Chain A
Amino acid sequence: MSTQTEPESETEIEESEAAATETESAVESPGDRRRREKGERAVEEEAKRKEAEETLDEEDTVQIKVFRYDPEVEGKQEPRFDDFHVPFFKGMTVLDALIYARDTYDSSLTFRHSCRQAVCGSDALFINGSQRLACQTQIADLDSETVRVEPLPHQDVVKDLVVDMEHFYDQMDSVEPYFDADELPDGDETQRQTPENREKVKMSTRCIWCGACMSSCNIAADDNQYLGPAAINMAYRFAMDEREGEIRKEDRIKIIEQEHGVWRCQTQFSCTEVCPKDIPLTEHIQELKREAVKSNLKFW
């Protein structure tokens, strides 16, 4: 395939040009010079890459349109989209295409990824207008000539497809996200839990903290303090676990019925639709609303 030979020729051209520019600049600090030269080279490489890609056979490739932004690199400070033509193979995922583009065309293309199997939750992205895990999204299933890849909406972009997850983590932390039973059996005994109760919390324990739900939620977009679907689901996971006990459950209900808690949810189901682990988030939020009502009635 023609793509195999292109990167090499790119490197050669790049090297001779770099040698030429190095002799010209002596007054700048070495760091500035290096950064400037790298910036210039990046622009040139970009032009060559485009030229190289155009020679690829259209039939065998898929075009991905990727959001680019870097606060400190000239030419990337204004957000833009770069097109990459990537050779297609059966079973190719959006993550495969991104990795190919990065390793072959532009090593500065930046995105989080690790496990490749939808369990680490690193690569939730906005793909063709919807929150999805890049590793779990088959390009063929998108049924679209170009694949548009953007960072998760409603989160600050750090660089390219990487968003700042701090706010998401803060919301998760705010619901006391840890098992904390009222009482435990003696050291060498396990707690009992009915299979039914385990089944009840099962879906809620599948959360991989990818942030897709939070990004899809209109309410979370407008109300920065809203706990959001993932954190509420986390609260659900513990509140519904019979091993924790009634006292702890009451505490948990108090957390989720606060001003920016469950009552903010307007049951639009957007979170449920995008969840890559099929967690019925909206149902869990609704159930906690009912629990909150029940709990309040008890004290009247």
Chain B
Amino acid sequence: MYEHDVIVVGAGGAGLRAAIAAHEEGADVALVTKLHPVRSHTGAAEGGINAALHEEDSWELHAYDTMKGSDYLADAPAVDTFAQDAPEEVINLEHWGMPFSREEDGTVSQRPFGGLSFARTTYAGAETGHHMLHTMYQQVVKRGIEVYDEWYVTNLAVTDHDDPEDRQCHGVVAYEIATGEIEGFRANDGVILATGGPGQAFDHTTNAIANTGDGAAMAYRAGVPMEDMEMIQFHPTTLPSTGVLISEGVRGEGGILYNDEGERLMFEYGYANNAGELASRDVVARAELTEVNNGRGIEDEYVDLDMRHLGEERIVDRLENILHLAEDFEGVDGLEEPMPVKPGQHYAMGGVECDENGETCIDGLYAAGETACVSLHGANRLGGNALPELLVFGARAGHHAAGKDMKDAEIQTGYSAKSEDGDVEPPVEPGAVGASGEDAAADGAVVDADEVLEHTIERERERVEALMEGDGLNHAEVRSEVQKSMTATVNVFREEEGIKEALRDIRRARERYEDVSVSDPSRTYNTDLIHTIETRNVLDVAEAIALGALARREFRGAHWRAEYQERRDEDWIKHTMLAWNDGTPELYYKPVLLESQWKEYEPKERSY
């Protein structure tokens, strides 16, 4: 058994920032990651980090843009806290050596980004995430923070009180990939989940293969509600063959989108008469697919993103990485020809419900980054707002877990924050099926910290043995069916029947998962086992996304519904919540907070 004050699960941007913050507070903190920190997917972020650094800019403007971008589904205390903390976090990063792109006078450059009223996106070429990840990992090394790399956390050690809000998290159980050892990690002060997004619930995604929603699925099953899971961002510019991301920075610098007829589609068809290519991501993604659906797509699949007019010097200076990506993954020379692009799954606005200090309703359990839903992004995240989110809320979670005195959160969490019953009618029963769902039988029997850990370790050992013993299906079949179904039906355009189809497919996949087993008999670096466990998580997050999508009968932000073509503020300014409920999920709603101690927001029509 290992023991630390704070255990951070996942070592991407949010995890690293949380670990540094907890260390700043004097805590003994450890990072536990299934990869090595520098392999984390934060490294693939390209565009930049929004922060109101300029004297003519202000946190209020940044907050306003973020709230508008969210289509009024974000919580004001989260938005305001975020916009206020972001500048300091960017300055921290700079002090840690982040190689930001610079102006002639040596100050940090800022560029325009979609949905922003001021050019406030700081960046480091078109590889901002790579530099941010490495810069923070360097600081982790400098501070001597313990890293357990290639340790896969398979479950949380949470007491089994009947009411999730009475439960307490005492640590995690992890599997050492190299050796097959299963160990407990006791956390005296807190566990912070920073495992990234659930992109692998889809098959055309910019996310890494490792982004299987592990943290969200574990928290969900332990009793933390999932929030606004239907809110999935589809990035408008991904390469058609692989889903590799082409940064919004290309449009920020002046890149133009053309349809098959050579028309500048954003203006020609009035998708965004003011902002054009720099409209919010959901707007641009829908515009592209509408063009394709109306027969103006190139090869009936994609549109062209042209940056040639920017000139070689500017492209090489600010977007060089894009040239490499287009060349390596699509065989296109961005200096000579336009790049083919289409929307791809990119980011989950929803996730583990937590407050502005990262706390979930389970005592000692935190979430930060894409895993979490504070809610900062509401129904749509602005480009350049994900990286500062990792910093701001990673730091806050780390500080809070380590015992720093912080002001009480305004955001309420847990089932007790419910304002309204759910009204969703899924075509099949969602939730646990058979033995793999038995990991959360709450009978109030196990409440002592050591006992909880021992119990969880034992359960995980049995689970691994059972998977190794069996002689059944390859998980890869199950995973791939769900991914295809989600991309076909719970995509940019969503229809009731399609979403129901996805839920039926997921139910079938859950049943098939009961027959899954690991055929590699080895204890040494058994990725077959790791991927099989991940697939279980993919099923849980995919189902949560589809249930939320079915429940929300309106068009808001990234969530478009064929049957409901309008934003319906009178009924739907509320968060879609999903409680696992020990295997029989319950959907309910809680209010959106449009007012913080600083500001009040009035929902307005969102046009760009």
A positions within 8 Å CB-CB of B: 7, 11, 14-15, 18, 34-35, 38-39, 41-42, 45, 70-73, 91, 102-104, 107-108, 110-122, 136, 138, 158-160, 162, 165, 169, 173, 176-181, 184, 187-195, 198, 201-202, 205-206, 208-209, 238, 241, 243-244
Contact = CB atoms under 8 A, between A and B. Distances in A.
Interface in B316-360: 324-325, 328-331
B519 A108 contact: yes
B525 A122 contact: no
Contacts of A176: 142
Interface stretch (B373-381, B396-404, B472-480, B542-550): B472-480
Closest 7 CB pairs of A and B: A179-B97, A192-B106, A38-B521, A108-B520, A178-B138, A178-B142, A103-B476
Interface of B: 35-36, 38-41, 43-44, 53, 87-88, 90-91, 94-97, 99-108, 124-125, 127, 130-131, 134-135, 138-139, 141-142, 178, 208-210, 241-245, 324-325, 328-331, 468-469, 471-474, 476-477, 480, 518-528
A175 to B, nearest CB: 11
A54 B581 CA distance: 50
A159 B525 contact: yes
A120 B525 contact: no
B141 A173 contact: yes
B91 A108 contact: no
A159 B99 contact: no
A205 B474 contact: no
Given A117-B244, A118-B328, A107 B474 contact: yes
Contacts of A209: 36, 38
A99 B209 CA distance: 11
B522 A107 contact: no
23 contacts: A15-B472, A41-B471, A41-B519, A108-B519, A108-B528, A110-B520, A110-B527, A114-B41, A115-B208, A116-B244, A117-B329, A122-B35, A178-B141, A179-B97, A179-B135, A181-B97, A187-B91, A189-B91, A190-B90, A190-B94, A190-B107, A193-B102, A208-B130
A192 B521 contact: no
A165 B480 contact: no
A91 B241 CA distance: 8
Given A120-B208, A179-B138, A108 B99 contact: no
A114 B107 CA distance: 34
Contacts of B244: 116-117
Given A72-B523, A188-B88, 12 more contacts: A15-B471, A42-B521, A91-B242, A115-B43, A116-B242, A116-B243, A138-B331, A179-B138, A190-B107, A192-B105, A198-B101, A205-B124
Nearest to A90: B241
B463 to A, nearest CB: 15
Contact of A184 (B39, B95, B138): B95
B129 to A, nearest CB: 8
A192 B528 contact: no
Contacts of B528: 107-108, 110
A158 B138 contact: no
B520 A177 contact: no
Nearest to B211: A114
B401 to A, nearest CB: 23
A91 B331 contact: yes
Given A107-B476, A107-B520, A122-B39, A117 B106 contact: no
A235 to B, nearest CB: 12
A42 B525 CA distance: 17
Contacts of A45: 519
A206 to B, nearest CB: 7
A111 B528 CA distance: 10
A209 B36 CA distance: 10
A190 B108 contact: yes
Contacts of B138: 177-179
Given A115-B44, A116-B209, A205-B99, A121 B39 contact: yes
Contacts of B105: 192
A15 to B, nearest CB: 6
A205 B141 contact: no
Contact of A178 (B87, B97, B131): B97
